[in-house]
Structure 1
């Protein structure tokens, strides 16, 4: 691995080999480890604010470009993106950094894969923070099968993203990144925000503003540049592989997450509202998520909670680490 100069202080940028493949990693601070996993369409840079806050609180913040994104390993075949593969990546990064155990934080697809990593390797991940995605254990039917049974096979947004044509449909990156950041946030008028089951309120509409006021222009520019370089194929493979993952994880059927957990979601997030139309309490989720200690709803915030409400999210994560994790981690 090798460090590189960085454009914000005290962050070590490095290339690590995880199970023989290269991954781009940001590493900041010293202390018990906190591993950050991003979603789609994003990179490790999405966690700038959270990494600073966690490092300042006495922890070691680590974020990686997930498989298929940014400067990390990006196999072409979607079958190489199952939760088994990605959990292997996360363990490989910890091994490369000589870290025995970490708290894992995830957003969007990163939250889903962080949850699966907690199930598969509780010895390596001793606590979880899930942003924008509630946990649901593997059951008898997959999400895809359930949605089709509900008559949503032509309406739910992710089916379109799993099609081969999606690679080209998302180009150019400059349009897609701006559209997704805007429409999935709470910035649009309430009646026009993204709805995951209403194609007329899709995420690829031209945004009404160039950059939302909550978004760091440097972050937006970085995201556009990253996807101009890589395209969207690797990220879209996370949608394409969902059924494959389901078939490979029968051994984890009905397994729950016992590790201390925090769930943070935006009250204006269309995806969260789809998963739970009524705001959930801990008691609503604890039957399948017994380790859950708190649910934090952020009013007037959309899907990009780590940006739209960065200070509040930082406070909640640091409070969770101090209250539930610090003594164990140290």
Structure 2
């Protein structure tokens, strides 16, 4: 969970967690996933909703709570529209022009697409929460806003049954943005509640409240979670005071995320490994190359199988433009619509995996061979084709069942988002080096129809210590088709790499 890694980075053993909107949901969940790291918890506007025993779809939620209908729009990132109304042109007096400009600049950089995924992961969240406790024993506070049109105060009426140490406060004349509308009353409620907790825990003092006029002076920091999320946070207050983590919701700030590879660093840290050799296939290859750029000091050597190294670009290249240069990548246009593509692929993992795990000669008669994008779009259909029915000889039924079982649990939607983050990846890589100096190996597959070996022709110009090998009679799944040859190449290369 993001918050546990956050307090680890700050070397905080336990903290009080306070969250508004989706941040409220996160802090309630912190009590369930990591109760030992929580002193106390507070949700502003967001009531605690215990894990359910049976899955409730977004449509079913909306039938019970109609004011949540807007989430259907946010859960479908492909939806868009325009309309004219004064709410789009007249700034509220709640926020100054300087503050609004700050929000605009931050979202121009981080974009909204990733944040919208919060609304599209209901089933994943449900599966993850199976088996978690339904009660919270910590000291807790709920602050409701009487005029919140979405998170109406009455949604919190059942909380006391699941949170026995709960205090509840309601603020009149305030809506969802109660932190702005009635900030003085919120501060008073929180100060009183935190003072009691601080006294009980033996802390001498509490952080003093800061006026909004000095927000520009606060210290901004960044950290990256094991899941590869880049998080922006503001660290204020005395280090010897009670640790308090305040988490906001969408589309509020401060918070930002990126899909990058730093989860590998966390893996090394967890295993107490200072440096390692990184070997990756397909998107794993891209991660291994990027590890050299983000964390060169943690890399002994690096190898990409099928995936050539592509240095960070000076100018952004959209997916559409890239597909014009490399037509074999057109399938990514389908996958980049992550929500809809994930839904289609999750409808039949067996059809997908049966079709994708096969070699060059297992595609059926030449006259019936389907382009990759076309058959991906046909996974959730009744299209009758041999690639959906006849399992390849390269994978056993037991191995196939394992893949199906794993994806039935983890789903494909989140994996599809790899294809939808090109612009964010470009922004994240702007300041990275364009060369790799580590000992490196590229293993190409002669018959790979997508990551064609000729794509690696420019690698020696940007990698001074590169070896290149080409495996014949193998396609993209060279690790299945010619595993003995791949093993021999890797064994010979690894023997030359000195241990740290």
Give the shorter-chain TM-score range.
0.5 to 0.7
SS in 1 for 2:470: strand
Please point out which of 257, 261, 265 is paired with 2:440: 261
Distance in 1 (alpha carbons) for counterparts of 2:335 and 2:319 = 16
Quick one: structure 1 residues 73 and 115, their matched pair in 2 at CA, closer, same or farther if it must change by over 3 Å? closer
Task: State the distance in 2 between where 1:148 and 1:231 align.
Answer: 27
Q: Which moved more, 1:300-309 or 1:206-215?
A: 206-215
Give 1:141 deviation, angstroms: 2.9
What is the distance in 2 between the residues matched to 1:212 and 1:292? 34
* The one of 337, 340, 360 aligned to 1:165: 340
CA 140–160 in structure 1, closer or farther in 2 if over 3 Å, else same? same
TM-superposed deviation, 1:189: 5.4
Partner of 1:302: 475
Seen in structure 2, the aligned counterparts of structure 1 residues 152 and 329 have a Cα distance that, compared at 3 Å, is closer
Is this contact kept in 2: 1:104–1:128, CA < 8 A?
yes
Assess if the C-alpha contact under 8 Å between 2:335 and 2:416 holds in 1: yes
Cα offset, 1:97, TM superposition: 0.6
Bigger relative CO (Cα 8 Å, ≥ 6 apart): 1
Corresponding residue for residue 211 of structure 1:
391
| Structure 2 residues without counterparts, runs of 5 or longer | 9-29, 34-123, 129-225, 230-249, 251-255
> Contact conserved, 2:300 with 2:438, CA < 8 A, in 1?
yes
Change (3 A) 1:316 1:152: closer
After TM superposition, list the pairs within 5 Å mapping 1:265-284 onto structure 2. 265-273=444-452, 276=454, 284=458
- Scaled by the length of structure 1, what TM-score is found? 0.65
Query: Structure 1 residues 238 and 208, CA, compared in 2 at 3 Å: closer, same or farther?
Result: closer
Once the two structures are superposed, the pairs formed by residues 197-236 of structure 1 within 5 Å of their partners are 199=374, 204=379, 206=385, 207=387, 210-236=390-416
Q: Label 1:143 to 1:215 Cα distance change in 2 as closer, same or farther (>3 A).
A: farther
Larger radius of gyration: 2
Q: How far is the alpha carbon of 1:238 from its aligned partner? A: 1.1
SS in 2 for 1:130: strand
Answer yes or no: is 1:82 the counterpart of 2:259: yes
1:93 aligns to what?
A: 267
| Aligned CA distance change for structure 1 residues 240 and 114 (closer, same or farther; 3 Å) | same
Contact 2:288 2:302 in 1 (8 A): yes
How far 1:80 moved relative to its partner? 4.6
Structure 1 gap segments, 5+ residues each: 1-16, 23-67
User: For residues 130 and 148 of structure 1, do their structure 2 counterparts lie closer, same or farther at Cα, with a shift above 3 Å needed?
Assistant: closer
Q: Structure 1 residue 135 and structure 2 residue 285: aligned?
A: no
Q: 2:342, 2:414 within 8 Å by CA — same for their partners in 1?
A: no
Q: Is the 8 A contact 1:186 1:193 kept in 2?
A: no
SS for the counterpart of 1:272 is coil
What aligned pairs does 1:15-164 form with structure 2 within 5 A after superposition? 80=257, 82-83=259-260, 86-87=261-262, 89-144=263-318, 147=321, 150=324, 156-163=330-337, 164=339
Alpha-carbon contact 2:278-2:303 (below 8 Å) kept = yes
Task: Render the CA deviation track for 1:97-151: whole Å, top value 9, x for unaligned.
Answer: 1001100010111111111111111110121110111011011234435725837
Q: Aligned residue for 2:216?
A: none
Aligned partners of 2:323 and 2:403: how far apart in 1? 36
Q: Is the 8 A contact 1:263 1:292 kept in 2?
A: yes
Task: Give SS of 1:222's match.
Answer: helix
Counterpart CA distance in 1 for 2:356 and 2:442 is 22
- Partner Cα distance (1:259, 1:135) in 2: 13
SS at match of 2:274: coil
CA contact (8 A) 1:115 1:135 kept: yes
Q: Distance in 2 between matches of 1:305 and 1:154?
A: 18
Larger displacement relative to structure 2 (214-223 or 156-165): 214-223
Match of 1:177 in 2: 353
Question: Could you give the per-residue CA deviations for residues 14-39 of structure 1, whole angstroms, max 9, x where no partner exists?
Answer: xxx977699xxxxxxxxxxxxxxxxx
TM-score by length of 2: 0.44
Distance 2:410 2:258 in 1: 16
